[in-house]
Amino acid sequence: MARRTTPDAGEPVVEQIVDIDVSAEMQNAFLEYSVSVIHSRALPDARDGLKPVQRRILFGMHGLGLRPDKGHVKSSRVVGEVMGKYHPHGDSAIYDALVRMAQPFTMRLPLVDGHGNFGSLDDGPAASRYTEARPAAAALLMTTGLDEDTVDFVPNYDEQLTQPGVLPAAYPNLLVNGVSGIAVGMATNIPPHNLVEVIGAARHLIAHPDCSLDDLMKFVPGPDLPMGGRIIGLDGIRDAYLTGRGTFRTRATAKVEKLTPRKSGIVVTELPYLVGPEKVSERIKTLVQGKKLQGISDIKDLTDRKHGLRLVIEIKNGFNPEAVLEQLHKLTPMEDSFGINMVALVDGQPRTLGLKDLLRCFVDFRIEVVRRRTEFRLAKRKDRLHLVEGLLIAILDIDEVIQLIRSSDDASAARTRLIDVFDLSEAQANYILELQLRRLTKFSRIELEGERDDLQRQIEELEAILADEKLLHRTVSGELADVAKAHGTPRRTVLLESAGAPVVGATPLEVSDDPCWVLLSSTGMLARTGSGDAVPVDGPRVKHDAIVGAVRTTARGEFAVVTSTGRMVRLSALELPTLPPLGSAPGLSGGAPIAAYVDLSGGEEALTLVSLDPASAGLALGTAAGVVKRVTTDYPKGGSWEAISLKPGDRVVGAVELADETQDLVFLTADAQLLRFAARAVRPQGRAGGGMAGIKLGAKDRVVFFGAVDPTADALVVTSAGSSAALPGTQAGTWKATPYAEYPAKGRATGGVRAHRFLKGEDTLVLAWAGNTPARASSSNGVAIELPPADGRRDGSGSPAPMVVAGIGSAGVFATTSVEGVTQS
């Protein structure tokens, strides 16, 4: 290729033809374009997690003096400020970035507080002249410290102004808010995460630099999407955290409901990340019209601001709603795939980073920011201390200073004489010459001395931080903890190993049908273990570890939940989140709430879990009115059914799946009466039966505990007495533990024997339990309480309780009869 060059006007024209290779020219031009796109537009910096346009928007708002506690301004004003000073591109690109930073369904922790129509998952935003914006509270965490020399400033596009090359981010924004971008030859796609979890991992990395990925994943188990939903398949997430690339599936949160007495429907309350209800509705309508999806009669979008997302899909009579829901997951965006590609700029170079690498980039950057901020503050305080010390010298000899200044010919001479006479520096002399007369009071001297002492203390603290690397790291970790406490929110997304066995089609191969335990905590958390080994019971107590129900099943097996209204609800174990390997007593912090699987009406509670094993001796139920029933094992195939017909005002207080008929059934009443009788004394009944008399109750008496005990093994009876007039949880009362063998067996429908003698001020049992030892008591917050020793006094009074007991249960072999931490109803 030949290029012709033309000299400037006024010079003689001399033509010069230069031969240039076309391929080399195109390579160089394309390379320059690629570098420009990668560095200036598409990829975020690993330190603050921001693209250049996002960084410039926040810096532009900072320059305009906008704050979360001040009024909004027109978005077009912010766009114009950024476009004119820092970002030489179109206003639409800047406004699109501003809108994304304000959308709560896009970012986990929005950086812009928008006022007006900033769009939805299905519709775009209004024009910038119609909307208003200001920084969100989280944006201040990104810009605080810009005026303290924490980061380097670089020239803007025309080199007339300067802008920060990176913001002094106070939290790992790249992981918290995620990012997506397409550069030349590369792309990035990082999902949002929970702020508290990410900061917990960063603090752990500061304290343990050589920690493993598994250690960090104990804090960050997976993404936390802004609108909730469910993430299915955790193997892809671990691959992404290890290599920077991986894939996971997101699934809508949907449940089958009875819309009318004769019509069922599927109600969708959460959709996959960045999927709108209109997109789902249009896809369903297209499939129904094309005869590819059957069983749907209508679809309604009832989404509003008060109740949030609510997409109702009506099912035709005669069709299985679960099967239709499975087809919706396969054919519509109600199940979507998310590909993680964690690419970011590190020292100006694009790199694919794992979880530990991303956290390491942020931690190293934050340590450098705090170090530079500390050096800046130290220099400022030293300069101020220098001036204060000079001013104190002047105040001590104020008469001589005034005489010296008045006798000087000009300010320069006065400055020179002050330096020579009082041994001051030039800065101190200038500060004294600018002194106002009102500062010459006795009170001002006291203020200056106090300021001097305070500055000296601050200087010592700042110098200690710079001198001790461990103290610097603790300072960074403490600031991160403060951010998590002030801005952290609970996890919204449920993490699942698998979505469960499909209703139609082949059995999924992702999860093998291995034995496992399904556990239910007293706080309503439901989960399953990763194996069927014996569940350990020793070790420290943690949150949500009070187990009220445990069932041995398989990963694709089914079980049932028994409620206080006598209902049994069939569930699949495969739909439950899986607990990590158990090294001590199980904690269900990673479980899912029971409300996500069972619709509980007002006042209805989940009591325990049942294995639905037809080989068992049946299910035994006890009610507050003293009724006992054994339910036959011919359980229906439906999802929910009644196990007992209750009388008005009655409720189930205990349920247990019997191993055989040799077990004892035990009632404990509020009047401290205990009745034990053989399970064979109760004839099994069908589901429609109302049971038979179990214990004879006195006037105003009620049953507070019902369970089953193996009479051939060590067993214990624990009771706690109190006053019925006291508010719940305000009176400790007395409690006692007695060997179960001390209580004789009586016939069914009798009053039983005395189990606890009331002292003055006591008139009821606030808590009672009977079961096979060893046993453990638990307070309402899950803290273990030592039980009193078994004294052998069958009807004696107890010893003073050290604290209010919220639950007592077995710590031995887990079975449906073993409960731990039963919350008093």
Sole residue written with tokens 């189930």: 652
On whether the CB atoms of residues 362 and 378 are closer than 8 A, the answer is no
Listing DSSP states for 691-749 in one string gives -EE-B---TT--EEEEEEE-TTS-EEEEEEEE-TTSPTTS---EEEEEEGGGSPP--TT
The tokens of 560 are what? 């049932």
On whether the CB atoms of residues 362 and 172 are closer than 8 A, the answer is yes
Q: Sign (positive/negative) of CA torsion 554, 557, 561, 562?
A: negative
Q: How many CA atoms lie within 13 A of 142 on its CB side?
A: 33
Active-site residue flag, 130: yes
Active-site residue (options: 130, 171, 431, 597): 130
On whether the CB atoms of residues 77 and 36 are closer than 8 A, the answer is no
On whether the CB atoms of residues 266 and 321 are closer than 8 A, the answer is yes
Q: Is 125 exposed, middle or buried (0-12, 13-18, 19+ CB in 10 A)?
A: buried
CA distance readout (Å), 63 to 81, 151, 169:
9, 16, 17
Query: Residue type for 343, please?
Result: V
Sole residue written with tokens 């532009």: 60
Sole residue written with tokens 């189990």: 755
264 membership: H or E segment, kind and range: strand 263-270
The tokens of 204 are what? 């752990």
What residue spans of 154-253 are helical by DSSP H?
A: 173-177, 195-207, 213-217, 235-243
CA distance 517 to 528: 5
> CB within 8 A of 494, min separation 6: which ones?
228, 229, 230, 231, 253, 577, 592, 596
Q: 36 - beta bridge partners? A: none
The tokens of 762 are what? 């006591």
Query: Residue type for 447, please?
Result: E
Sole residue written with tokens 């009362």: 733
Q: Which of 229, 245, 227 lies closest to 237, judged by CA?
A: 245
CA distance 562 to 635: 13
> CB within 8 A of 559, min separation 6: which ones?
518, 551, 553, 570, 571, 573, 609, 610, 611, 612
CA distance 180 to 174: 10
Rg (CA), the chain: 36
The tokens of 465 are what? 């931080």
CA distance 575 to 589: 17
Q: Which own/partner pairs from 440-448 qualify as long-range (CB within 8 Å, at least 24 positions apart)?
A: 440/395, 440/398, 444/395, 445/392, 445/395, 448/388, 448/391, 448/392, 448/395
CA distance 391 to 398: 10
Catalytic center residues: 130
